[in-house]
Each structure stands twice: as structure tokens, then as C-alpha cells.
Amino acid sequence: MDKTVADLATAVAGIEDGMTVMIGGFGGAGSPIELIHALIDRYRATGHPTGLTVVNNNAGNGHVGLAALIEAGMVRKLICSFPRSADPVVFTDRYLASQIELELVPQGTLAERIRAGGAGIPAFYTPTSYGTDLAEGKPVAEFDGRPYVQERWLKADVALVKAEQADPHGNLTYRAAARNFAPLMCMAAANTIVQARQVVAAGAIDPETVVTPGIFVQTVVEVSDPHQEEVLNRADAAYPLEA
């Protein structure tokens, strides 16, 4: 039942080429920077994993975190709702050079597709995107006189998320807006890997405050002093970070 591991390298060791990886975060809020950087370290040491499909709200900023993952050439396709954020130069350059695919999904639809994946719902209907390029080729049905577009669930091989507290069983709490997509992604992934600011003893988290139950988590690693994406970008940091 103890799902904790000693270090970040061990946490990401099982991620393989071609996997679909959900990464929590809304911009920098809740972004598991250390897990992402550990995955880059593994790629630089071994050449793996590569050809990843990444599901995230945005396309990364600057040259750290998700942007650094893309810059390393590890991402084949990005599924996101907001590819143009504060400083998306890495994704933009690669996309214009046809080096990465993009599947653009409206933000609410993205969240619901992930939730549907975790709930075992293969498809649902939404009015969002009807009549736009994003609905091209998708089934349309009419309900109560209004057209709705069919959207499919999103599931993943792996989810990388950032939590505030975790216990050895994988029960999680989050800090404020850092929660965002993480609980949905934990449910939609076959293997959830969590970096937690604090790992506490079993029973130390009030059950009433648990957001993600441990049944949806496979691996926990403690990162007591995590980086914040916006702070790194204000310092013009790039991964690998200077000591």
C-alpha cells in the first residue's frame, strides 16, 4: 500500500515511447515542474521516452516545464485548449515547422473529455464548437431543437500531477487553484504519478479534505520545495536549470 518512491527518476522510469501523458496545470498553477524535468533528464540519458502525446491546458511558456519537454523533441502531439499563452515560443516555432501536431479543444470540452475518460463514458454531446472548424468531421445530433457535437473521451497511459499533501496510500489534497485538471487526470490515467510538497503519515489527512482518493494514484514522490513556472520565466530560466 505504500506508493512512495525515493526520487523523481524512479517515479518517471516506467514512461515509455509513444505513451499519452496528461500533465496537470493551468499555466504554472499546479504544473509538476520537477516530474517533467526528471522525464527530460531520462530522455537525455537514454533517448527515451519519445513520440509522446501530451494533454495539457496550454502549450507551455518560456523554456521550462512543458515548454522544455517540447523543446527536447519528446512530444509528437499536443492536445490542449490554449496554445497561445504568455510566451509559447517553443511550441509556436515547432508547430510552424510542422514538427508537432496540435489538437485544439475548447477548455470546458477538454475538461469534460478527461472527466468522461475517468468515468467510463466513451462519448457525449455539447453545443460548443458547433458550426466551427473544430467540429469538422464529428457527428452532430439535435436535442430539443438545438444541434450538438459529439465528443469522445480522453484517457491516458500516465498522468503527471502536483499535489500539496499526499499520504503513502496516495490520498491527495491540492493548494487552491493548483487543483485545476489534476483530479480529473488522476481518474482518466492508467498510471498516476504525483509530486507532493509534503508526504504525511497515513491517517494524517482528514478524510473529509481528501480530493483525490488513493485508488487513482500509483506513485508518490515528495518535492518539498517545488519550482513555480512563472518565477522561473521571470528569471529567464531554461532547463537544465543553473545550480
Q: How does DSSP assign 105-130, residue by residue?
A: --HHHHHHHHHHHHHT--EEEESTTT
- Percentage with pLDDT > 70 across the chain: 100
Q: What's the pLDDT band for 145 if we cut at 50, 70, 90?
A: very high
Mean pLDDT of 219-236: 96
Q: What integer pLDDT is reported at residue 24 of this predicted model?
A: 98
Q: Cα separations (Å) of 41 from 35, 36, 215?
A: 10, 9, 29
Kindly list the domain boundaries of the chain, sorted by start residue.
16-124+153-201+224-229
Mean pLDDT of 41-51: 98
Give the model confidence (pLDDT) of 149-171 as tens digits.
999 999 999 999 999 999 999 99
Cis peptide before 49 (omega within 30 of 0): yes
Residue 69 near residue 243 (C-beta atoms within 8 A):
no
State the CB neighbour count (10 A cutoff) for residue 94. Answer: 18
Q: Which CATH architecture has domain 16-124+153-201+224-229?
A: 3-Layer(aba) Sandwich (3.40)
Residues 91, 163, 166, 186, CA torsion sign:
negative
- 209, exposed or middle or buried, with CB in 10 Å at 0-12, 13-18, 19+? exposed
Q: What integer pLDDT is reported at residue 84 of this predicted model?
A: 85
Q: What integer pLDDT is reported at residue 30 of this predicted model?
A: 97
Rounded Cα gap, residues 79 and 157, in angstroms: 14
Residue 49 near residue 42 (C-beta atoms within 8 A):
yes
Mean pLDDT of 230-238: 94
Using DSSP's 3-state secondary structure scheme, residue 162 falls into strand
